[in-house]
Amino acid sequence: MDRMIFLAMNAARQMLNGQSQAANNLANANTTGFKADFEAFRAMPLFGDGEPTRVFSMAERPGVNFKPGAIQQTGNELDVAINGDGFFAVQTRNGSEAYTRAGELHIDAAGALLTAEGDQLLGNGGPIFLPQSSTVLVGKDGTISVRPIGQEANTLAQVDRLKLVKPGVEGLVKGSDGLFRQKSGLPLEADASVGVIAGALEGSNVNPVAEMMNMIENSRQYELAVKAMNTAQTLDADGARLLRL
């Protein structure tokens, strides 16, 4: 009985872990630049004294779906999407460098250019700060130009250039904050071949239908695991009664 109930308990727990991952993907179906996590279950033999007769399951995230999301035109001058492969470089709140595809930007009171999550965009010389201006224009190469307040429409001043990188995705890891970082922990060099589309945003690459199917499947497997635990309990009670006879 002990083998059955412990295997069933582990299966139920792993189904809940898989359910949480699918629910997180589904919750971010409308999050700008979000990359869905893959889900997989792996057999884990238990080694110890005697033969390895027990095999547990383990839910894990084997990787991330780096397929680009759909480009949506917004017309907002501070909305920017990566054109093709590549990432924006940002400085997180703890000062480390990370990478994202989310280009829904805004400017704070100090003139810092931030993502919607509050991470600061990096440029040629570090964090980007913009002067007070009436217009902000982002070129296809990531160059940022502004029209100072009170100046004529044809008066533009180049301020900085977005740091755009193009890492090999096999060298990236996704953190709990949704940002990507190098496995080595080292910052990447800017890549001039990466371009952007101004006035547009990249949507999430989550497939809501597929994630709903995953959640239904995980729910069914969880119910089977609970039934197996109930069966194990019944068998244990029946065995105890036989021993008392």
Q: Which residues of the chain have pLDDT under 70?
A: 1-2, 150, 153, 245
pLDDT at position 25, please? Answer: 94
As a whole number of angstroms, the distance between CA 98 and CA 78 comes to 20
pLDDT at position 147, please? Answer: 85
* Domain range list for the chain: 2-65+206-244, 71-202
**Cα 67-70-75 angle, rounded to 5 deg:** 140
pLDDT at position 81, please? Answer: 97
As a whole number of angstroms, the distance between CA 9 and CA 232 comes to 11
pLDDT at position 133, please? Answer: 80
Instruction: Give tens-digit pLDDT for 63-108.
Output: 899 999 999 999 999 999 999 999 999 999 888 999 999 999 999 9
pLDDT at position 2, please? Answer: 60
3-state secondary structure of 101: coil
Contact 203, 72 (CB under 8 A): yes
